[in-house]
Amino acid sequence: MISYNDVKNNRAVTVYIKAADDSLRALGYTEHSRAHVAKVAEEAANILLTLGYSEREAELARIAGYLHDIGNLVNREEHSQSGAVMAFRILDKMGMDPEEIATVVTAIGNHDEGTGVPVNPLSAALILADKSDVRRTRVRNSDPATFDIHDRVNYSVERSELTINEERTAISLELSINTEISPVMDYFEIFLGRMVMCKKAAEKLGLSFALIINGQKLF
């Protein structure tokens, strides 16, 4: 049975994640390195575990989270689909069970807001984990004077927390934003599509979704 650690320690996976992030760096995107994919992996697993899913389902969520951005190696456009194909080849070569491969590949292929749909619980957890990773440390531009809107929004986030309530009926993304760096409207300008996708993902898991910025519920 293929584990998350097997995937993390696979040399090809390590090379592809670094190369994909290097390409995005050259294009001026925020950080998509092992730090991002590892955070997404653990968050996706935590969502499923909190909702009572099995340890194995959570492990598959970690694997999908860790592999979800490798398609950026090919091109930023349609990276979820190319990443799904790459993940299929990697996991098949490693000897993963076909049913598990199908679940992981489906989640990866549906994580992007342009074309993705939360078709199963694992894909829903991956979407929520990925779209909630907004933080200052993802900004690579060291000169605030040249920040674009993505840099400003990410740099302005001083705290980001994704939580499920005790009743397991709602999931909330709570952000603390320094509005002197970026107004709240900038967040909506670039992330509204992602928040709509999070709402749909939450519904797939039987949850409502809320976005809370600086103590105010906005979505």
Q: What is the arithmetic mean of pLDDT over 95-110?
A: 97
Query: Would you state the pLDDT for residue 111?
Result: 95
Q: Are strands 170-177 and 208-213 parallel, antiparallel or unpaired?
A: parallel
Considering only residues 106 and 113, tell me which one the structure prediction assigns the higher pLDDT: 106
Query: Would you state the pLDDT for residue 201?
Result: 97
Span 16-33, pLDDT tens digits: 999 999 999 999 889 999
Q: What is the arithmetic mean of pLDDT over 152-160?
A: 93
pTM as predicted: 0.95
Where helices occur in the chain by DSSP H, the ranges are: 4-8, 11-27, 34-50, 55-67, 79-94, 98-109, 121-131, 149-156, 184-204
Domains of the chain with bracketed CATH: 4-217 (1.10.3210)
Query: Would you state the pLDDT for residue 20?
Result: 95
* Percent of the chain at pLDDT exceeding 70: 100
Give the C-alpha separation, 82 to 87, whole Å: 9
Span 129-138, pLDDT tens digits: 999 999 999 9
Judge whether residue 157 has pLDDT over 90.
yes
Query: Would you state the pLDDT for residue 3?
Result: 97
Give the C-alpha separation, 166 to 159, whole Å: 21
Tokens of 184: 């709240």
Q: What is the arithmetic mean of pLDDT over 105-115?
A: 93
Q: Are 101 and 91 in contact (CB under 8 A)?
A: yes
Give the C-alpha separation, 160 to 134, whole Å: 7
Residue 170, sorted as left (phi over 0), alpha (psi -120 to 50) or beta, turns out to be beta
Judge whether residue 10 has pLDDT over 90.
yes
Judge whether residue 123 has pLDDT over 90.
yes
Query: Would you state the pLDDT for residue 170?
Result: 97
Span 178-197, pLDDT tens digits: 999 999 999 988 898 999 99
Question: Of the candidates 159, 135, 155, 152, which has an alpha carbon nearest to the alpha carbon of residue 32?
Answer: 135
Residues in the chain: 219
Judge whether residue 114 has pLDDT over 90.
no
Span 160-171, pLDDT tens digits: 999 999 999 999
Cβ of 14: how many Cβ atoms within 10 Å?
13
